[in-house]
Amino acid sequence: MLNLINTSFDNCLKCTVCTTRCPVAEANPDYPGPKQAGPDGERLRIKNPQLYDEALKHCTNCKRCEVACPSGVHVGTVIQLAKARHGGFKKGPREFMLSHTDLMGSLSSPAAPIVNAMTKLKPVKKLLDKTLGIDQRRTFPKYTGETFRSWFNKQSGTQASFQRQISFFHGCFTNFNDPTVGKDLVAVLNAMNIGVSLLKKEKCCGVPLIANGFFNKARKNAELNMSQFAHSLTKTECVIATEPSCAMTLRDEYPEVLEVDNSAVKDRIFFAAAFIAREFARGNLPDMKPVPLRVAYHSPCHLIKAGGVIYTMELLNSIPGLEVIMLDQKCCGLSGTYGFKKENYRTSQSIGQGIFDQIEALDVDYVVTDCQSCKMQVEMNTDRTVLHPLTLLAQSLT
């Protein structure tokens, strides 16, 4: 398999465009920027591993450096793998808890009311801050008592009646925290005469595991998911995901970061908005009624990396009566588990402040974004409710 670490970083022209686009470099003077941490640092680390720079821990892997790079250098991947090779990840109880989302969801959902009440209590937040380093100022996501898979099992008979079928990779957040997006996807696709199937088994895509250094666990998850995809795609057209980070990881991070071959199925893995926009372009549109709302759209970093923002905008602009204002394409700052860590909280908030200020200055009914992590960050720092684009599409169905 092509090793990007041996071929990509040497294309760096030292133009520093990546550093000018890095939200962490702008907010945190302790981070030298992706050029120095990535390509420049890799040349030194190859010569002498002891030249590893602890400053790499500040990288959020937002991928904005890779979007900006004129030479196609996989800067974020270089940094992530350097951290993995040189012990740059601290893997303590906090990292385990934040990254093993399948396990935490399985344990928390059955006791959702109790867990949700506990994580709101100031004494509990202070205890987690003091003992684990999870910042007490951070708002925790709620768990649902009925998982998405449990809800879907009641609909499986109806879904099987559709001639066209797609497989849905729902992800951890939709399953354990907020099934709304999954339910809305089912409603939208059904209105387009497309049925939904779930994988027989599904594991976390690996985003939080990679971000916290659990590469072996992430690789095992990837191998299981790929085997499930191969089986599912014998009966369905494609696999779609509603979470940008999941879709990006399934398509790009599996081969590049985890060295899990997905070549047999990669071209049949889609971000949900891209799949639906393609159907709309082919004339498969559901009947829609006007949705007289004014909304502000925030572009998630990993969706920008995947080139998927245009598809979401096409879907939003197709909804009658909806006025869409596109926010500046800046990072919200949470970056998954990054902003939950006490040492990153100030940087996380500083990165997102521009977006928070822009939202507060606008007269909009809702903020819209495809990313659940961005949703958490915006709702914690503004007085606006955040909706997924699929929720607005579902509301427009007649």
CATH number attached to the domain at 4-85: 1.10.1060.10
CA distance 182 to 241: 9
From first to last of its 398 residues, the chain has per-residue pLDDT tens of 345 445 577 888 899 999 999 999 999 999 999 999 999 999 899 889 888 888 999 999 999 999 999 999 999 999 999 998 888 888 999 999 999 999 999 999 999 999 999 999 999 999 999 999 999 999 999 999 999 999 999 998 999 999 999 999 999 999 999 999 999 999 999 999 999 999 999 999 999 999 999 999 999 999 999 999 999 999 999 999 999 999 999 999 999 999 999 999 999 999 999 999 999 999 999 999 999 999 999 999 999 999 999 999 999 999 999 999 999 999 999 999 999 999 999 999 999 999 999 999 999 999 999 999 999 999 999 999 999 999 999 999 98
Q: Are domains 4-85 and 287-396 of this chain identical in fold?
A: no
Distance CA 326, CA 163 (A): 37
Number of residues that make up the chain: 398
Residues 194, 164: Cα–Cα separation, whole Å: 5
CB 328 within 8 A of CB 358: yes
CA-closest candidate to residue 65, choices 301, 255, 353 = 301
Q: Do 103 and 341 contact (CB within 8 A), yes or no?
A: no
* Sign of the torsion formed by the C-alpha atoms of 61, 64, 68 and 72: positive
Residue 14, both tokens = 């030292």
Question: Could you tell me the fold of the domain covering 287-396?
Answer: Rossmann fold (3.40.50)
Give me the half-sphere count of Cα atoms (radius 13 Å) on the Cβ side of residue 362: 23
Q: Which CATH architecture has domain 148-280?
A: 3-Layer(aba) Sandwich (3.40)
Show the tokens assigned to 32: 């030298």
**What ranges do the domains of the chain cover?**
4-85, 93-132, 148-280, 287-396
CA distance 373 to 339: 10
Q: How far apart are CA 57 and CA 331, in angstroms?
A: 18
CA distance 390 to 183: 9
